Chains A and B, each alone.
Chain A
Amino acid sequence: MSLADENTPITPDAPDADELARMRQARFEKIGKWTLPVIVMVIMLVAWDRIVVLNEIPHYILPGPGLVIETLIKDWPILFDALLVTLQITLMALAVAVLGGVGLAVLFTQSRWVEMSFYPYAVILQVTPIVSIAPLIFIYVDSRLAGLLLCAWLVAFFPILSNTTLGLNSADHGLRDLFRIYGATRWQRLRYLQLPSALPYFLGGLRIAGGLSLIGAVVAEYVAGTGGIGSGLAFRILEAGYRLNIPRMFAALILIAGSGVVIFAGLSFLSHMLLRKWHESALKRDG
């Protein structure tokens, strides 16, 4: 209440000008978050369509958005099967990355020797581009599926490993002291203190790893090339490229990008649900 309020008494529940402005701002942001990207997309699609139509670009060079959608529907049986193959590899790789990443992180924090011995190699695997390792993998690994999985895993496991290691080591020192006073065993400290402390870090790594395992799966399919069980989306893009079926390339591309968005959104939702009760990152500030 400032002095100026004396002449214009206001009831506590009547919002003043500042508050109205703040509410307007909040409403604008809430609506804008969804409408603005949609508007941008509509403009882009219309521009794309106009450019194709006005310049009379042939569909084997650049198809219009309408044709891409049409192809997506027409080729759905082929593309959907391919999508399932790619998603299968992606999710399996993510699952193995979680097991491997968390498992290694726990090993690393339990034993300095293990960490010192193996951490450099984890880094080397991470920084070596997967396209340069993948051909070797497909020479030595007979099973196509195992080869694809291995490639996707190599790309995806590192963020989980490094984030989880950081999380396990960042348990509060006061809490460590407390656990020592309570005579907690090593296992109890891991189970009741370090793993829950690492959860937010792990989930951050998981969101990155979700996108990376899709990239790993797609890259591996490209390297594996045609044949075998390789009939995922990347294989369909390659195949369509050889046949100059550009609309199908775009349709498959849309499915890959869409899958990536869905995976990211799904993992973000999972993260929110697990942390919303207690972690700072997920709590709404009141005031």
Chain B
Amino acid sequence: MRLTGSARIGDTPIFKDLDLSLEAGAWTCLLGASGVGKTTVLKLFAGLDEAVTLSGHLEAPERVALMAQSDMLLPWLSALDNVVIGAKLRGDRVDLDRGKEVLSRVGLADQAARKPTALSGGQRQRVALARTLMEDRDVVLLDEPFSALDALTRAQMQDLTAELLADRTVLLITHDPLEAARLGDRIVIMTAHGLADVPVPQGRIPRALDAQDVLQTQANLLNQLRMPS
């Protein structure tokens, strides 16, 4: 998967001369300040680009899975029905047993019949994760999926997501340097001038929160983000 070129929305330039390739089977973390066009990159990969004019080249699979900051659950459907919505919309056979199995993998076996409003923020994000797993795509796009969660829930969700989406091609958009340090097989900082690769800590993801090099990478990332561009 690769995206090269420049993009604008209407007359507003979003980014220029970008060249981002995603390595298959690895997690790429895209980090950057608000407004540098991270989300536009993700939308282009997701095919949700009707407002974006791209002059360049895009290699992306036809079908991807997406998980965003808002859980994007249908409030009138139960957790289980939300998990299987993709199959329903495609007209495929709705495999409720597999839906239940996926829900139990995210620890929500008992909550399958509940509506999203009856679940906590973390539980709703687990349902969204279960739906992403249910879709079973090779490429998964994550748009700040944990940023609305409290610190403890966020750490738990990072572990769970990294475990369940291991070996998939993942693009994780994030504001959070620690998250990038924990979850990136590759970490890329996006600024108005382009992309910059950052050395990653050792070890497989999800890396330990208290590992020395993870904390060091977090500090480095924060410093680089704070540098005036």
B-binding residues in A (CB < 8 A): 172, 174-175, 177-184, 188, 192-193, 196, 199, 277-280, 283
Contact = CB atoms under 8 A, between A and B. Distances in A.
A174 B71 CA distance: 9
B9 to A, nearest CB: 15
Contacts of A279: 75-76, 117
Contact of B116 (A182, A193, A278): A278
Interface string B46-75: 111000000000000001111010101011
Contact of B117 (A175, A180, A199, A283): A283
Top 5 nearest A-B pairs (CB, nearest first) are: A174-B72, A182-B89, A184-B89, A278-B115, A278-B75
Interface residues of B, number: 21
B77 to A, nearest CB: 8
A199 B115 CA distance: 16
Nearest to B71: A174
Contacts of B37: none
Contacts of A183: 63, 89-90
Given A172-B72, A174-B68, A178-B72, 13 more contacts: A172-B70, A174-B70, A175-B72, A177-B48, A177-B72, A182-B90, A188-B89, A193-B74, A196-B74, A278-B76, A279-B75, A279-B117, A283-B117
Nearest to A176: B48
Interface of B: 46-48, 63-66, 68, 70, 72, 74-76, 85-86, 88-90, 115-117
A174 B125 CA distance: 14
Contact of B48 (A180, A184, A196, A199): A180
B89 A277 contact: no
Contacts of B64: 181
Contacts of A184: 89
B117 A278 contact: yes
22 contacts: A174-B68, A175-B72, A177-B48, A177-B72, A180-B48, A181-B46, A181-B47, A182-B86, A182-B89, A182-B90, A183-B90, A184-B89, A192-B85, A192-B89, A193-B74, A196-B74, A277-B76, A277-B115, A278-B76, A278-B117, A279-B117, A280-B117
A175 B74 contact: yes
Given A182-B90, A183-B90, A177 B66 contact: yes
Nearest to A283: B117
Nearest to A277: B115
Instruction: Pick the most buried of B68, B70, B89, B90: most chain A CB atoms within 10 A of its CB.
Output: B89
A182 B91 CA distance: 11
B27 to A, nearest CB: 20
A183 B86 CA distance: 9
Contacts of B115: 277-278
Contacts of A196: 74, 76
